[in-house]
Amino acid sequence: MMKPLFICTGNAARSQFAEAIYNSETNSHDAFSAGTEVIVGKPMPDMVVSVLESEGISKEGLYRKQLTQKLVRAADHIYLMTDQSVPDYLPEDKVIFWDVEDPRGKDLQAHQHAFNEVKNLIEGIVR
């Protein structure tokens, strides 16, 4: 099974959606997510939790993680959804850029839209 790493800026919405959707779709715990600028220990945003709950996807095991070289080395593929503070140790041959707008600071509809975009992208890699 593929071990993907999903990266966004704060590891609060897009990459968390991707980790949760991938693991739900594949009935695994093979995906991980991380952020380039994470406030570790800060809870998941209420709107992210609301979207996951409304979609019937568990938030169990989701928490904010800072991107590390160890996570990068463990990944088969890296899906990058940020262009902010991207470390130079990301191996170019593993990185795939996904252009998903950051819903941070926006309303529930923006969070749902980001979820839908990520879900479509995930479906493209799990088929």
CATH number (domain holding residue 40): 3.40.50.2300
pLDDT digits 0-9 by tens, 59-91: 988 999 999 999 999 999 999 999 888 899 999
Full residue range of the structural domain in which residue 70 is found: 4-126
| Cβ atoms of 18 and 118 closer than 8 Å | yes
Confidence of residue 25 (pLDDT cuts 50, 70, 90): very high
Give CA–CA dist 40/26, Å, rounded.
27
Instruction: Sheet containing 95-97: give its strands across.
Output: 32-35, 4-8, 77-80, 95-97
Cα–chain center distance at 45: 14
pTM, full prediction? 0.96
Count of structural domains, the chain: 1
* DSSP string across 71-108: HHHH-SEEEE---SS--TTS-GGGEEE------TTS-H
